[in-house]
C-alpha cells in the first residue's frame, strides 16, 4: 500500500486532514474556551448609542411610539429584535458577516474578522453567511446614515440603481420616513455591526442633528 501512488496520496490526504482539523478546530477551541459569551446588554457602546439617539431625533413620532426613550435598555431590545428580523428576512442569504484574510478584503471592508467578535448572543447562530450577492456587512455600521438605510430598505433601487435587493415595505408604517418598530430595530442592528472597532466611522466633521435643525442654512 505504501508503495503505490494511490496509497501515498491516501495517507498524505489523511495527514493533511488531521492537521487541518487540529489547526482549524482544536487549537481555536483551546485558545478561546475561557472567553465568556457576551449578552446583548454588554454590546451596547457609545457608537451605537449615538446612532440610536440619532434615530430618536430623526423619527421622533415612530421612535417614541415603538421604543419610548433612547435609553440603553431600549437599545438592547432593538438589537435583539433587529437580529431576529435579519434572520427572519433572510438577509444572510445575500450578505456575509466575515471579512476574510484574502483578496485584500480588508482594503474594502476594514479589519479582518477575529474570533472574539463572534463570542456574543447576537452571533447565535453565527451570521457568517454563505453567499455574497451583496457586500459583506460586518463593518457596515457608521458607513451610512440612518435615513439612508430607511430609504434603502424601503426601496433599494431608489438609492442604488438596479439593486437586486428586495423592497421591505413592511418595515414601515407607510412611507420611508416612517420606519415601524421592526424597521427601527433593523437599522439599529445594522449600525451595531463593527461598532466595537476603533475604525467605526463616526464622521469627524459631523454636525449633530439638533444643530443642523437650528441652522437655517441646513434646511
Alpha carbons 23 and 35: distance in angstroms, whole number = 18
For the CB of residue 88, give the shortest distance to ligand HEC in the complex, in Å.
Answer: 9
Contacts with ligand HEC, residue ranges (CB under 6 A):
86, 89-91, 93-95, 133-135, 137, 140, 143-144, 156, 160, 163-166, 168, 186, 190
For the CB of residue 10, give the shortest distance to ligand HEC in the complex, in Å.
Answer: 41
Under 8 Å between Cβ of 79 and 122 = yes
For the CB of residue 144, give the shortest distance to ligand HEC in the complex, in Å.
Answer: 5
What would you report as the CA-atom Rg of the chain, rounded to the nearest whole angstrom? 21
For the CB of residue 215, give the shortest distance to ligand HEC in the complex, in Å.
Answer: 27
Closer of 68 and 164 to ligand HEC (Cβ): 164
- Please give the grid coordinates belonging to residue 21: 482539523
For the CB of residue 194, give the shortest distance to ligand HEC in the complex, in Å.
Answer: 11
Closer of 93 and 124 to ligand HEC (Cβ): 93
Cα-based distances in Å from 115 to 31, 99, 208:
10, 11, 34
Cα-based distances in Å from 103 to 106, 127, 131, 143, 199:
8, 21, 16, 21, 20
Under 8 Å between Cβ of 124 and 153 = no
**Number of Cβ within a 10 Å radius of residue 117:** 18
Closer of 81 and 91 to ligand HEC (Cβ): 91
Cα-based distances in Å from 208 to 38, 49, 58, 182, 187:
31, 13, 11, 25, 18
Closer of 58 and 210 to ligand HEC (Cβ): 58
| Residue number closest to ligand HEC, CB atom | 134
Closer of 12 and 166 to ligand HEC (Cβ): 166
Amino acid at each position: 500500500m505504501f508503495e503505490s501512488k494511490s496509497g501515498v496520496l491516501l495517507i498524505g490526504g489523511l495527514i493533511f486532514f488531521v492537521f487541518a482539523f487540529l489547526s482549524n478546530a482544536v487549537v481555536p477551541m483551546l485558545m478561546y474556551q475561557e472567553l465568556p459569551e457576551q449578552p446583548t446588554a454588554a454590546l451596547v457602546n457609545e457608537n451605537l448609542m449615538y446612532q440610536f439617539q440619532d434615530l430618536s431625533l430623526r423619527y421622533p413620532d415612530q421612535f417614541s411610539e415603538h421604543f419610548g426613550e433612547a435609553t440603553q435598555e431600549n437599545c438592547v431590545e432593538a438589537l435583539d429584535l433587529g437580529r431576529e428580523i435579519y434572520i427572519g428576512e433572510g438577509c444572510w442569504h445575500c450578505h456575509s458577516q466575515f471579512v476574510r484574510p484574502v483578496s485584500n478584503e480588508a482594503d474594502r471592508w476594514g479589519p479582518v474578522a477575529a474570533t472574539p467578535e463572534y463570542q456574543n448572543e447576537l452571533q447565535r447562530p453565527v451570521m457568517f453567511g454563505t453567499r455574497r450577492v451583496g457586500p459583506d456587512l460586518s463593518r457596515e455600521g457608521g458607513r451610512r446614515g440612518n435615513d439612508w438605510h430607511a430609504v434603502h430598505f424601503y426601496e433599494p433601487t431608489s438609492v442604488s440603481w438596479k439593486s437586486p435587493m428586495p423592497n421591505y415595505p413592511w418595515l414601515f408604517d407607510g412611507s420611508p420616513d416612517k420606519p415601524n418598530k421592526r424597521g427601527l430595530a433593523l437599522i439599529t442592528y445594522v449600525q451595531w455591526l463593527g461598532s466595537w472597532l476603533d475604525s467605526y466611522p463616526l464622521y469627524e466633521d459631523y454636525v449633530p442633528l439638533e444643530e443642523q435643525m437650528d441652522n437655517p442654512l441646513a434646511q
